[in-house]
A and B are shown apart, each in its own frame.
Chain A
């Protein structure tokens, strides 16, 4: 996603470069480097300032997964409540905002569905405010919205959430930094090695090219894999707009043998 919306428009009078301009310059420089395996971000991604002290300086040690790491925790009915997938029905009233349905499939890299496995989400409210003591964005909390949900995938690997569209919000990476609207996703595979946490974005967001976290995925095709698709067939008449977003977990899945059977 080229950050073409950044900086002053062509022909505008010259001005001092802003901190955001410098971030965009860094984003553009990093976009020219070859992407990492799978399109994942480099943990030491300069434009996202907090990575500076939180990314390992030693290379990862390549190791074959152990028997433990080749299997994943198993989830079921005891772990997920009947309404946990619906973030709009946790309180007495309905939350403010644009009601949406977000659905898709969780698969491994072979295209095999990840069945009956846990998908968790958390997000800001429609105003771009999280229900968290660390969020000081002066936007209103919504008494009818907490913003966390979970569900199990079905036999085809499908998940489905009902929620409201989160707002964009400011953060302190640099002056005038704003996060594009996103929903955080946490997904388990059939192997511990497939564990994934990521963020789902909405199509056409003008903040993509300005945002160091989105842009930390430098390959444009890989960026597209983080963006949901508006889908009118998922839209529910008179009720909610629909988005489709498929998730592909990295790494091989569990071997078919049950660990109890050996």
Chain B
């Protein structure tokens, strides 16, 4: 195949308020079935710059399982009642709350990052999605060596750390997303630092 010229990306636009009949799918919040050994809840509230709940956000989660592997079989939407799919998609409810049921991630072989769940945030009023990560406090040693966590001051770092939550039945972690303002979640630019096909990484 001959060289194909580099192309500029299609620009992002907001997910808008009406994705409810387009994007959520049955069992989308269940990375593992109910009753799975070791299942945890990751849940929280999405808030705006005034601290008000955001009832029309959509979150996606993507992660390794406890074996450090990413699922690579097709079927990320398919809930067969036994498999770990590694992928969740959940809209916030009227109170801005969300919850997913999953397993604790482990770091893949060769990873320089501590175990984490990759998160994408979409919302009405958000013109371009946001990336963030959920880290877990029980991985103290790996967290201390994580390049991203190490680069942040304590207050900012705390926004990426799930908080053990005794308010739920079974093991649960709270991970709130603050889009703006006090306690604003650390959001990531995962693209600028990587070489792009046009060589300058600007796409301009």
Contact = CB atoms under 8 A, between A and B. Distances in A.
Interface of A: 35, 37-43, 45, 48, 50-58, 60-69, 71-79, 107-112, 116, 118, 120-122, 124, 130-132, 134-135, 146-148, 184, 186, 192-193, 195-199, 213-214, 216-217, 221-223, 225-226, 246-252, 258-260, 262
A61 B152 contact: yes
Given A58-B184, A76-B74, A262-B110, A110 B6 contact: yes
Interface string B105-136: 10111111100111010111111111101000
Contact of A226 (B10, B108, B109, B129): B10
User: Which interface class (under 10, 10 to 19, 20 to 34, 35 or more) fits B?
Assistant: 35 or more
Contact of A68 (B12, B22, B62, B124): B62
A248 B13 contact: no
B204 interface: yes
B180 A53 contact: yes
Interface of B: 4-23, 48-50, 52, 54, 56, 60, 62-64, 69-78, 80, 85-87, 105, 107-113, 116-118, 120, 122-131, 133, 147-148, 151-152, 156, 179-181, 184-198, 201-204
Given A184-B16, A184-B22, A195-B60, A67 B75 contact: no
B192 A37 contact: yes
Tell me which of A198, A223, A262 has the highest count of chain B C-beta atoms within 10 A of its own C-beta.
A198
B131 A193 contact: yes
A222 B8 contact: yes
Q: Kindly list the 10 A-B residue pairs having the minimum CB-CB distance in the complex, ordered from nearest.
A: A76-B74, A122-B22, A111-B4, A50-B125, A73-B76, A250-B9, A54-B125, A53-B49, A78-B78, A60-B189
Contacts of A40: 9, 11-12, 127-128
A251 B72 contact: no
Given A43-B128, A54-B48, A260-B69, 8 more contacts: A61-B189, A75-B74, A184-B16, A213-B14, A216-B13, A225-B8, A225-B11, A250-B9
Contacts of B85: 73
A225 B203 CA distance: 13
Nearest to B62: A192
B75 A75 contact: yes
Contacts of B56: 134
B10 A196 contact: yes
A57 B184 contact: yes
Contacts of B125: 48, 50-51, 53-55
30 contacts: A37-B203, A39-B9, A40-B9, A50-B124, A51-B127, A53-B49, A53-B180, A54-B179, A55-B179, A56-B130, A56-B179, A56-B187, A57-B181, A58-B187, A60-B130, A60-B188, A68-B113, A73-B86, A74-B73, A75-B77, A76-B74, A76-B75, A110-B4, A122-B18, A124-B18, A132-B18, A134-B17, A195-B120, A252-B195, A258-B72
A72 B21 CA distance: 23
Tell me which of B73, B110, B116, B126 has the highest count of chain A C-beta atoms within 10 A of its own C-beta.
B126
A37 B11 contact: no
Contacts of A147: 21-22
Contacts of A71: 70, 72
Contact of A122 (B21, B60, B148, B204): B21
Nearest to A249: B9
Given A76-B74, A110-B4, A217 B11 contact: yes
Contact of A249 (B10, B15, B54): B10
Tell me which of A61, A122, A252 has the highest count of chain B C-beta atoms within 10 A of its own C-beta.
A61
A66 B75 contact: no
Nearest to B5: A111
Contact of B190 (A63, A79, A132, A148): A63
